[in-house]
Amino acid sequence: MKESVRIFRFIVIGTMNALIMALVVWLMMKEMSFDGDYMVANITAYLIAQIHNFIWCKYWIFPVENKKNSIWKQILLFCSAFAVAYTAQFLFLILLVEGLDMNEYLAQFLGLFIYGGANFLANKKITFQ
């Protein structure tokens, strides 16, 4: 598959994930009893979106014709890639909100770009190689 097609597909799924995350963050921070707890909302939103993300990555973005990695190994590697990308995003989020006093919603949005770049590279190079 051409790299430009793969990047386009990643952007499509990334946009869907961003919408899922935005909805979960909004629901938790505004409509549920979390009353503005941006960290709990952020963690929950990313975990929910990752289930969606794994399925699309495995079968559409990084379809692996070589079956050397079992599904369980791919899940483990995907979770590891998620942990690296999420940690980078979460630290960035805390820096923006706590350190620079940025709006929590804007910081969540900007964190998506940190997460997306790290997640794409980790999954391309490690999980679905």
Q: Is the pTM of this model over 0.85?
A: no
Q: How many CA atoms lie within 13 A of 119 on its CB side?
A: 27
Residue 68 amino acid letter? K
- What average pLDDT does range 7-11 have in this prediction? 91
Quick one: DSSP state of residue 126? I
> 40: helix, coil or strand?
helix
**Residue 74 reports pLDDT greater than 70:** yes
**CB-based contact 16:52 (threshold 8 Å):** yes
Ordered by start, the domain boundaries in the chain are 1-63, 66-128
pLDDT interval class at 96 (50, 70, 90)? very high
- Reported as a single tens digit per residue, the pLDDT across 32-55 is 766 667 888 888 998 999 899 899
